[in-house]
Amino acid sequence: MSDGRIGTIDEASDEADAGHLVVDTGPWIFGQKVLLPAGTVDRVDHQEHVVYVDRTRQQIKDAPPFDPVSADQEYRERVGAYYADSYLPPPGAIPRVI
């Protein structure tokens, strides 16, 4: 997490084209769970048993709500698009050439 702890990993998927983490947020978002695409993982600290993601708490809180019953391919694509959009520069931003 880029700005604080969000919860504990409840489950993970390593299916082809469907890698994700389900995180139990505990009391932070009233005990809800959130789905994070595997691409949001920034790094893993194996000694401390901590997974860091490249999203803010607010981005995760604003993500489409997780519903394990309807967590189908369409839902995973919608969540993936939500997080992918956060990589885009804000409207009117001048692209930086490196």
Whether residue 23 has pLDDT greater than 70 = yes
Which amino acid is residue 59, in one-letter code? Q
Asked if 41 and 60 count as a contact pair (C-beta separation under 8 A), the reply is no
Q: How confident is the model over 83-96, as a mean pLDDT?
A: 71
Token pair 């930086």 is found at 96
Distance of CA 66 to the CA centre of its chain: 11
Q: How confident is the model over 86-97, as a mean pLDDT?
A: 67
29: helix, coil or strand? coil
> Global pTM?
0.75
State the burial class of residue 72 (Cβ atoms within 10 Å of its Cβ: 0-12, 13-18, 19+).
exposed
In angstroms, rounded to a whole number, what is the distance separating the alpha carbons of residues 43 and 10?
18
